[in-house]
Every structure is written in structure tokens, then in C-alpha cells.
Amino acid sequence: MATEMRTRPTPGGFVKRLLVGRALATHKLEHQLLPKTLALPVFASDPMSSNAYATEEMMLVLVTAGAAALALRLPLALAIALLLVIVVTSYRQTVRAYPRGGGSYIVARENLGTVPGLVAAAAILTDYVLTVAVSITAGTTAIASVRAETLVPLRVPIAVGLVAFVTLANLRGVKEASTLFAVPTYGFVVMVGITLATGFARCLGGCPLAETADLPLPVEHSLSLFLIARAFSSGATALTGVEAIADGVQAFRRPQSRNAATTLAIMGAITVTMFLGITTLSQLLHVRITEEIAPEAPVLGQIGRTVFDGGLGYLLLQVFTAGILILAANTAFQDFPRLSSILARDRFMPSQFRNRGDRLVFSNGVIVLATLAALLIWAFDANLTRLIQLYVVGVFTAFTLSQSGMVRRWLRLREARWVRGAVINGIGALTTGVVLVIVTITKFALGAWIVIVAMPIIVGFFLAVHHHYARIDRALAVGRLSPQATARTRFLVLIPGFDEATTEAIAYLRAIRPEELEVLWVGPPEGYEAARQAWRERAPRLGELQLLEGADRHLVRAVRRRVRERRLAPDEFLTIVIPEKVRGTALWQALRGRASFLLKAAMLFEPTVVVTDVAFLPAEAGATPVAGERPLEPERNVVLIPISAVHDPTVRAITYAKALKPAQIEALYIATDPEEQTDIVARWHERGIDVPLVLLEAPFRDITEPLLAEIRRFTSRGDTIVTVVLPELIPRHWWENVLHNQTGLFIKRLLLLEPRVVLTSVPYHLRHPEVPER
């Protein structure tokens, strides 16, 4: 177990703590589960907030056929409300059948097959991105309507800023976000309730008329079945977000499925009541709407202004409407990362989406969602009507697949009351399937084609990721390398000049005592003779300094040529030692030392080559001899091998580490999830690895403190240098690296500035089985 330590917080770390909050331990996850009162605003804010614009979007289609067509708004609203009741009832069965969550993806994949499941996942992820874009844009429209002349031109930066605000709130954790968002959600429900009650009460003595009651509505299209279907599909935005609770069952307090089903019923009742009430009152008050006035006078705003005569009630309604529209995006921020983590668990998305951040949320999913939504808002100029056209297709695709999957499940398992369940879900599948066809036909040319084209591309991405991981798993499962194998290594040292970094490299070479060493001058050729004499004086026991031809013109090409000239035995490694003077952050170092960075990257793709980076830090200047003096010789070399799994890349790194003949060698497994430790230990013993395995706990899922603590346990002695050997998987194609080695890159950045630490990367090439089974 690592000794307890605390690293000095960096300015960036301080800002992160200020914005996001202190890290939560993994065992605190249970305390982040939500009661129904907080789960409702988190998961139901999207469908409830859609009442602020669903009626309006339906009316915007009807008005193109003239004022008479508005008489259809109430019958259409009743049909949409019935559809909502059917979908909610169907999903209540889904959450009971699948208490671990996953929604449409899990149901479709388990019952209909992998591809239908991935189509459902692509559809619902697309819908979540659109939910954020549409909700934030609608909230921005509500804000801008207060002072249209000033704020409407600024709607894009306002909307992007609001995306950033909701993102930050969600990075602080589920429970904090739900507490923050509860007030505007419940405030909106209460204010809409008061507005409806006041409006209907005033109508008892004769309904007041909206300011737009006599607004001329020129006939642009005839009232056709197609136009009615378009109006229905636009109003069906009231159903967006119903899926969210099925995806997020595991966020509820126990009993999770029962609480989720209850929350679904409450959400359905509130949404139906508000939607029918707003639509009915808009008809009684003779509210009219056109594309031109919609940004300044939305339907719900007109109702509030008419009912409250523009007083305090209207102002509060607008405030809470803007609040819930903005925070309705929270539903997507809860479920996009969670569904992404489920897909990553099933190896259909990069494994980084499984990682929980400091506040126990899936931070990578949150950031990706925010980025995509902001780009969408910018691309569509924060125009609600244009964005709405992309909406709903994904929703009803997921609905249809989910309900069809449930029907198949009932028929397959024939559990208690299976006939009743199959009928309910069958009706749900039929109705949502019909609506999907209507939506696709009516909205295709208006922008829905973008979503329809995007979904197969996303499914293709899922399958490509899965194929890649499956191929890697098959390659690593062979277990062709023996942990008992022995190897030796030759050293190739590159000397660009004589500075503190070279002095540090000499000290490191003396500590490891290489059996075979070649030292190459890669500086200017005219400086070679002076460099050779300096090398004889400073490192007389490390061989002669040789000139590497062409290194001054193209370092990578010259080193690669020299490497390929070497003829290595099957049990040999070639270690390239690169002295490097480090200043600033890892990013700045990569930019400043571009040649060195490119060389290290290129050598990772050379079979049998191991890259060792000997860094000198300015902070070590007081402890390191100046140029011209002989370096102090460390007495001990300790090798530490951070591992993430027990497979051939790990075994290869261990074989190399033993070839260094260190005074002490340890493999380090940093457990971010306590449940993983047992499996790692069992596999370690199963492979018969004779190197001690040290388990380091990382209760906050941050490997920094436990790793540095273990390293400093050795370097604090003063006479010890630590070589950190990193197993590094090298896939067939360079672009596949984004799916691997992310932890290794983090460790390299972390240890680049750590004194008395040498970083060594041991690549495992899937294309080059250069180390035979022994």
C-alpha cells in the first residue's frame, strides 16, 4: 500500500476544485443516488419543458393553412396526449423488466439483435445532442423575448454560454445538479399550473383575447393530410425525454425500478395536463403565431401576458420558462454519458467513456455532449424552428425499437401476465412506428434527413470500434509470451550536446551498468571532435563517442537507419536513450523539443526498440554537477512497471525490466475500482509471473497520488533512481491509438517533471510478433 501523501496543487488543479468541487471517493456513489423528488427534475425536465414550445411548433405548421386550420390544434393535442400515455405505460414495463437501465439500446439489442440495438443507441444519442441544442435555444429565445432588440442578435453566444453553465453544473455531480435544477423545474410546473388555473377562471366570465387574436394569417398552403401530419409530428416534440428514465434507472434510490416507474407515471401525468391545458387555453384566448413573431412572442408567453395582463405573474412565468428550458438539457447530460458508458462497457465506444470523474459522473461523456451541442447551436444560428426539424426522428426510432423489443421479450419468456404486457407494448410499438413514418416523411426535406443519414454512420462507428477491440482482445488472449523468459538489451545513446541532461544520462547509464553500449553524436558534425574529447573526459568507461551521419539534417531518418542496421537476436531489445532538458509543461516541452518528440514517437513503431527518456529538470540543478564535472553515480536502480491488465504487453514489459538487472523490481496496479483487484491478482498468479505485484488504492479514481507516493518512497533516499517501464500497445494503424494508451500518456505527462525518474516505453506491436514464445 502506498504511503499517504499530498501533492502541491497546481493553479489548474485549484481552478478545477473551485469550479467542480472536491473529488468524491468511489464508495460515495451510493450517496449520489436520487430520491423521486430530485429524480423528477433531473430526468423529467425535458418532457415537461417541451410544453413551452410543443403547442407553438404545432401551431406554426397549422397557420400556414390560415386561421381556420388552428381549430385542429386541440384534436391534434388530444392525439399526442394519448400517444404520450401509451409510451409512458410501455416504458413503465421496460424499467421493471430492465432494472439495470440501458433503455432502448439494451432492450433492442437483447431481443432484436446487435444492429437494431446499435440503431436505437445511435438514435437516442443523437436525440440527446438535439435535446441540449433545442432546450438551450428555446431558453435563449425566452430570455431574448424580454428585450428582443438587444438580445436576439446575441442569441448564439448566449446559448453557448448557457451550454457551458449546464455542463459545469453537471460536472459537479448528479446530486448537486439535481438540487440546483429542482427549483426552476418545480417553479415552472407551479407557474404553469397557476397560469392555467387563472386563465380558465377568467374564462368563466368571458375569455380575454390575446394581443395577436386579430393577427392576419395569409394562406400559404392548402389544409391537406400531409400538413396535418406535419403539425402532428411537430407537436410530438412533447414526447422527447420520456426515454431518459429508462436509461437512468440506476441513478434512483432503491428499490430502483419501482421508484423509476413511479417517477415515469408522475412525469406523464404532469406533462399531459400541462400540454392539454396550454393548447386549450391558446385556443380559448385566440392566440396566433407566425415565424416572424415567434422569437419575440412565444405562445406560452402570450398566454401569460394575456392572463396576468403583463404583471408579475407574466414575469415569473417567463423566468421559470427560461429556467426549465435551459435546465431541461440536464436530462440529456445525465443520460448521454450514462448510455455512452454502457456502450463503452460493451466495447462499442472508446473505453474512456467508462471513466468516472472526480464527482462520480462520466465526465468524458458530459464534455463530448456539450461540445457537439454547442457546435450544433452555432451551425444552426440558435434558430429553434430549424433545429426542431431535426428533432423527434431519433426519439421515435428508439421508441419503436424499444417497444418492439419488449414485445419479443414477452413472447420469448412468457412471464406472468405476458399477454397483457405484450398487448401494451405492441400498441406502443405500432403507434410509435406509425408516428416515425409520419415524422420521417413530413420532416425529411426540412432537415430530418441529416439525422437519418447520421444514424447509420454512427452505427458504423460503433461496429468499427467493437471490431477493433475484439481483434485486440483475440490477439492479447493468446498468451504466447512466457513470464519466465529472459532477455538482454543493447543500448544506443544519443548525445546532442553537453549539458545537464547529458550529465543526467551518464549518471543513469552508470546506475544500470549496460553490458553493450553504443554512443552516438547527433549534434553538428563540425563539433564532433570536441565532443569526442569531452566524452572521453566525462565518461571514459562508457565507450567511444561515434558520429551519426545525417543526424543534423534529419534526426529521425538517421536514427531509424542505424536501428535497422542492427541485427538483434530474438531475445534482445535495443534501448534508445534520449537525454532531454525539460522546461515547463508537457505540451510546451513537446512544442519546444519537437525533434526529440518526433523521434520518440517514430521509434515506438520500430519492432524491438525501447525508448528511454532521461529528463533533466531545472529544479535539480543544485543537486547535479555542472557541465565538465563527473556526475554522481546513483547506487541503486529500481524499476517500477505500472500495469492495467495481465496480458502479453505486460509480460513483455516485465521481461525487459528484468533485463535491466535492477536492485528492486515491482509491478504496480492502481485500482480505481476495488472490485477489479481480485481479478487482477488471480490472473497474475495464473500467468505465473515472478515479479511482486503491488496494489495501490485510488479511492478518488486519480492515479496521481498513489503513483507518486510509491515512486517517492524510493527516490527520497537520494541514492536511488527509478526507471518507470510503461507497457505500450501499438495497434496496426496510427489513428487507432486514440482507443489505447491514454493512461500511459497521462503517466508520461505526470512524470516528465518528477526528479530522479527515467521513463521507458516498451512497445508491443500487434503487427510484429518479434518476441517468440518461450
Instruction: Tell me the pLDDT tens digit for each residue of 288-337.
Output: 988 888 767 788 889 998 998 888 888 899 888 888 877 777 778 878 88
Assess whether pLDDT exceeds 50 at residue 197.
Answer: yes
Residue 646 three-state SS: coil
Q: Please check whether residue 222 is in contact with residue 431, taking contact to mean a CB–CB distance below 8 angstroms.
A: no
The strands making up 693-697's β-sheet, listed across from edge to edge, are 545-547, 517-521, 488-495, 572-581, 609-616, 757-765, 720-730, 636-643, 664-671, 693-697
Residue 416 confidence (pLDDT) above 50: yes
Q: What is the pLDDT of residues 616-669, one digit of tens each?
A: 766 554 444 444 444 455 668 899 999 888 888 899 999 999 999 898 999 999
Task: Judge whether residue 373 has pLDDT over 70.
Answer: yes
The β-bridge relationship of strands 757-765 and 609-616 is: antiparallel
Mean pLDDT for the chain overall: 81
Report yes or no: 43 and 261 within 8 Å, Cβ to Cβ: no
Distance CA(376)–CA(48), nearest Å, equals 23
Residue-level pLDDT at 275: 93
Angle at 127 between CA 122 and CA 128, to 5 degrees: 100
Q: Where are the alpha helices (DSSP H) in 36-172?
A: 36-49, 54-62, 73-97, 103-112, 114-144, 148-151, 155-171
Residues 270, 238 contacting (CB under 8 angstroms): no
Decide which of 609 and 221 is more confident: 609
Task: Reply yes or no on whether the pLDDT at 42 is more than 50.
Answer: yes
* Ramachandran sector of residue 494 (left: φ over 0; alpha: ψ -120 to 50; beta: rest): beta
Residue 727 near residue 762, CB atoms below 8 Å: yes
Bridge partners of 720, per DSSP, are 636
Q: For residue 74, what pLDDT band results from cuts at 50, 70 and 90?
A: very high
Q: What is the mean pLDDT of residues 411-419?
A: 85
pLDDT at 638: 92
More confident residue, 732 or 133: 133
* Rounded-to-integer distance, Cα 694 and Cα 747, Å: 17
What pLDDT is attached to residue 731? 80
When pLDDT is cut at 50, 70 and 90, the band that residue 462 belongs to is very high
Helical (H) or strand (E) element with 695: strand 693-697
Quick one: pLDDT at residue 375?
Answer: 93
Instruction: Decide if pLDDT at 31 tops 60.
Output: no
Higher pLDDT, 118 or 246: 118
- Is a pLDDT exceeding 50 seen at residue 586? no
Give the predicted TM-score (pTM) of the model: 0.74
Strands 609-616, 693-697: pairing is unpaired
Q: What is the rounded distance in angstroms from the CA atom of residue 209 to the CA atom of residue 59?
A: 17
Cα–Cα distance, 372 to 354 (Å, whole number): 19
Residue 148's pLDDT is: 61
Q: Outline where 514-585 has alpha helix (H).
A: 528-538, 555-565
Beta bridge partners of 232: none
Taking each helix axis from N to C end, the angle separating 155-171 and 312-327, rounded to the nearest 10 degrees, works out to 60
Cα–Cα dist 56/67, whole Å: 14
Contacts of 666 (CB under 8 A, 6+ apart): 638, 639, 640, 641, 691, 692, 693, 694, 710
Judged by DSSP in three states, 611 sits in strand
Bridge partners (DSSP) listed for residue 520: 494, 546
Low-confidence winner among 362-371, 407-416, 629-638 (lowest mean pLDDT)? 629-638
pLDDT mean over 540-561: 86
C-beta of residue 234 within 8 angstroms of C-beta of residue 61 = yes
Q: How far apart are CA 66 and CA 190, in angstroms?
A: 34
